[in-house]
A and B are shown apart, each in its own frame.
Chain A
């Protein structure tokens, strides 16, 4: 489906809600705003309920007979299991502070994309089916019954939330719609309501170790391919190892880096860095084909599925006998590692508290998970003067930095990436206040919503981010949007191209790879994208 031109799309956004009560406005599922249903084969592979072929546009969603019972039972169970959820169901005062904080609302104007209403979709069921007041007073107490229509609406809007947590920053009670969406999706999954863009990666990841279903030999081939490219650029071929027992460090990155441009250039950056560290300091890093995915689409399915997929990291680290784990540039991967992994699959007492063997820095803040973010790892190397960097190779780049939702609001990872950027290039410009750090805007495709068929809502959701990029593009000629997330690299490439043509997207380690002077390298003519370096352009 073709989507409108940006100016038309923009003009049509209206933040004025319709007349009447939202409970009476029936939601119509619009093409361009929803993702295709999960493939039954994928569901079967990992044992998710109710695998079948179904189409969200059909009237019949082929639900199990007792679906209401399952959903309400699941809801009750989760009220006991998650204090967060219980409190978020009870205390919202509908002050509306969160209303215009969601990128999907800003870009679509659809009132049910206001975080508070997204929550009310489920909260009205909680009141109408579970609380006494709601059962007796019904609509007057804001309660509704769980009908098929209501269920469809929840499915539609809970797959229009990227679990970015921006709303939660502004809520006076810290109500986090991401948490409600996570639990909402968990409920939907109980009766087989999901989307294929999540279900398939989950099944793939479970089987082959990564979302794309790349099998071990192909995974190695792809990395070999990058090594060839690197050789072409600088005359040196990194020699990465795979599944190596007894290596110092296990490296895990999202498979998007191995598969999709421009993530691939970031991947080349990692390879060059590891090669450099091996040559100069003898560091032994290994890649795993079994745990070849940092991302975790289980997180977008259920807590249980998240745990099942995440388990591989520790299991592999244990099997290989490494000291600790290093993680690549990714958003939700880090939310999972930061806030869930240790609790779910820990304690990782078979690993050591991470210490950089090169600088001697002890990563105390990762003392329990035993997993270090490559950006903090590299920042520490730079700070200690361990890398030979030539900034001039990035002189054509005028960069800004996009804070990923998950590393921002689920971690507070702000200065580390900026420190690296400022050390690998000179032209760095921040986007306007209110759109960065903890208030950063989602790329529009997080939490498994980066499918092709929902392009319209993705561009709408991408507007606030892209618009801030436009600001620095217009003002400072910024031509590169750097970020530390694989989904960002894929999604932003499209949305920036749509809203602000002329700006490209890159990962941080691509910039590091460009600047890093490898021992014995030949003079470079191009950067990792095979674009001529500054001063090497042909006349």
Chain B
């Protein structure tokens, strides 16, 4: 149900763009106003979120340690999984962000007859997650040739490499194929693995469908519903140079594509997609595990009520003396004091 809702929502968005930019001729709205707004919302929203996180205090150093800590000199410490220095933290974050280190640990549990619990390595999620993220990055970068004139060499190169296989004309982009395959895996997994399906929210299906439709509309434009590339570039260049124009003959499929991307940008800052920013800031990963060596300061540390030794001794002095435990104030003295008070 949740998946179906989310899918219909994406269909509705597509329809909206088709009618708006196509039938009703609101090209300027869909080609200029909405994209501008989307970018502004994305940048402001993203920044606000990250600033919000940054403003929250980090009262304690709660690193999750995943390897031997720094200890006696003859014990070999794991400098990356349990970093005691900034260098170690940087290395750990590098593996986390660029190679999805933690996800790579993933395992699967199974219960077998004879009371046996077995764990097996399970790397599919890691593989498809990393494939998706990298291909999406490639796709993003290769779109830069629509926003630059002349197109810088790296983007040209990327384009060439991505279409290296030279299948079809125009040549098929590898990244698109892989991204769609990876997304499909993530979607099918959500739909068919019972536990994952159980935890899934509309907010999990919606971005999957949305990004899929962005990819599909992009591919459609390139291979099936031919669009005037020169006109598109005129429009995109107009956007980045702040001299927006709406050329003739762009075709509504392009507006659909652009609109879906805009929706993605609108949606991004208020959604779980913000994990893109959060992954850098997670205190269990980005702090050095040197808490016993270097004091971490809590900005809101406040004094608390404690039970002092004096109060403790006052309560138990008699018993302590009887048991030969040392006391600070001898017993007689307190008795006298008590008498004096009377």
Contacts and interface: CB of A to CB of B under 8 A. Distances in A.
Interface of A: 6-7, 10, 13, 15-18, 21-22, 47, 79-88, 90-97, 99-101, 106, 111, 114, 116-117, 120, 131-133, 140-142, 165, 168-176, 179, 206-209, 215-217, 220-221, 242-245, 289-290, 303-304, 307-308, 311-312, 315-316, 319, 337-340, 342-344, 346-347, 361, 363-369, 371, 376, 379-380, 383, 408-416, 419, 432, 434-435, 437-439, 463-464, 467-468, 470, 499
| Residue from the set B53, B57, B277, B323 with the largest chain A CB neighbour count within 10 Å | B323
B306 A174 contact: no
Interface residues of B, number: 101
B56 A217 contact: no
Interface in B280-309: 281-285, 289-298, 300-301, 304-309
A365 B293 contact: yes
Nearest to B55: A80
Contacts of B204: 93-94
Nearest to A217: B323
Nearest to A432: B119
A162 to B, nearest CB: 15
Contacts of A343: 59-61, 291, 295-298, 301
B129 interface: yes
Contacts of B325: 216-217, 220, 242-243, 289
Given A15-B195, A339-B61, A463-B117, A244 B107 contact: no
B203 A175 contact: no
Interface in B33-72: 49, 52-72
B64 A242 contact: no
A173 B275 contact: yes
Interface string B63-94: 11111111110111110011010000000000
A416 B72 contact: yes
A47 to B, nearest CB: 7
A176 B284 contact: yes
B61 A94 contact: no
Nearest to B305: A308
B292 A366 contact: yes
Contact of B292 (A106, A120, A173, A369): A369
B316 interface: yes
Nearest to A241: B326
Contacts of B203: 141-142
A62 to B, nearest CB: 25
B63 to A, nearest CB: 8
B291 A339 contact: yes
Nearest to A337: B292
Interface of B: 2, 5, 49, 52-72, 74-78, 81-82, 84, 96, 100, 102-103, 105-109, 111, 115-117, 119, 125, 129, 193-204, 270, 272, 274-275, 277-279, 281-285, 289-298, 300-301, 304-309, 312-313, 315-316, 319-320, 322-326
A17 B195 contact: yes
Contacts of A94: 196, 199-201, 204, 272
A310 B212 CA distance: 53
Contact of A22 (B84, B198, B320): B198
A299 to B, nearest CB: 11
A217 B194 contact: no
B64 A168 contact: yes
A411 B69 contact: yes
Given A84-B58, A91-B279, A383 B105 contact: no
A304 B298 CA distance: 13
A410 to B, nearest CB: 6
B121 to A, nearest CB: 9
B111 A383 contact: no
B319 A311 contact: no
Given A94-B201, A133-B270, A80 B57 contact: yes
Given A114-B195, A290-B309, A368 B53 contact: no
Given A17-B198, A131-B270, 17 more contacts: A16-B194, A82-B57, A82-B58, A91-B279, A92-B275, A95-B125, A99-B196, A117-B198, A141-B203, A169-B105, A243-B326, A343-B60, A383-B72, A416-B72, A437-B67, A463-B117, A499-B115
B304 A304 contact: yes
A133 to B, nearest CB: 5
A356 B221 CA distance: 73
Contacts of A85: 56
5 contacts: A91-B279, A94-B200, A315-B309, A339-B62, A468-B117
Contacts of B284: 84, 168, 174-176, 179
Nearest to B311: A207
Nearest to A307: B304
Nearest to A438: B66
